[in-house]
Amino acid sequence: MKLFGFLPIRAIDVIDIIVVAFMIYAFFRFVKGTKATSILVGLVLFFLISFVSRWLDLKALSWIMNSILTLWVVAFVIVFQPEIRNALARIGRQRPAKFFLKLEEMGVIDEIIDAVKKMSEDHTGALIVIQKSIGLKDIIDTGVKIDAQVNSSLLRTLFFPETPLHDGACIIHGDRITAAGCVLPLSDNPSLGITYGLRHRAALGMAEQNDSLCIVVSEETGHIAYGYKGKLITKVDAETLRKSMEEIIQE
C-alpha cells in the first residue's frame, strides 16, 4: 500500500512504528517525576538546536554540535546511569527473567542461611527483611543506607551486639543489603502474647503489611522464625528456612 505517493507501507513497518512508539512512551513514563526529567528536557533542547543549525546552514554552530554528537551516547549512559540500572533491575524481577537469575538468588540464599545459622548458634539477635515486589522506601528511610553485596560476614557484623545498628532490621533487595538499623511496624496480634519479643512482633508486622519475607533470630533462645503473608512461622531449622526461602523468592 502506498500513502500519498511515497514508499509503500508494509505491515511490518506499522508494527515497527508501534513498537518504537511504545518504547518511547515507556521511557517517558519511567523518567517522569525523577531528576532525569529536567536533564531529558535539556537533551531534547540540544537536539533541536542541532537540527535548526543544520537546517539554517549555520556552519559554526553545526560544527560544534557535530563535534559533541560523538559524545552523546556516552553522556546519555553516564547521566541516566541510576535510571538505567533501576530499569534493568525491574526487568530482572519479572517472572520470565527469574529463571536466569536462579543461580544468583541461590547464592544470596546461601549467604543469608550461613549468617542466620551462625547467629542462631551464638544467640545473636537478628531481624532480616527480604524485599519482594512492594517497595520499602519508607522503612529504608528509618535506617542507615548501605548498598552492599549480600555477605554472611557483613550480616553477622551488622547484628553484632556492640554495633550501633544491631537493634534494627536489615533490608535486602535482590543481591544487595539496602539498609540496616531500620524500624519496622509492630504487630498488635494478641496471639503472640508475652512469649515473643519486639523482633517477632516486627517480623509479623511486616508480614501483615506487605509481601516481604522477614527472618528473625531470637537473642534469648537462638531459635529461628520467619514472617510471611500475615503469618509467623516459629522454631524452624536452617534447612527448613532454606527451602521456604527458595519457594518464596521464586514466586
**Ordered mean pLDDT values, 10 residues apiece, the chain (251 residues):** 58 85 76 61 74 80 71 65 60 48 67 94 94 87 91 93 89 91 88 80 90 92 92 90 87 68
Q: H helices of the chain, where?
A: 11-31, 36-55, 59-69, 72-79, 81-92, 95-98, 102-122, 137-140, 152-158, 198-209, 238-249
Nearest CA among 163, 165, 161, 162 for reference residue 177: 165
Q: Where are the domains of the chain?
A: 11-96, 99-249
- pLDDT the model gives residue 77: 65
- Measure the CA angle with vertex 125, ends 123 and 126; round to 5°: 130
- pLDDT the model gives residue 69: 62
Nearest CA among 108, 177, 115, 187 for reference residue 143: 177
CB atoms closer than 10 angstroms to residue 171: 28
- pLDDT the model gives residue 191: 76
The fold of 99-249 is YojJ-like (1 (3.40.1700)
Q: 36 with 79: CB under 8 angstroms?
A: yes
Q: 131 with 171: CB under 8 angstroms?
A: yes
- pLDDT the model gives residue 105: 61
Q: 31 with 37: CB under 8 angstroms?
A: yes
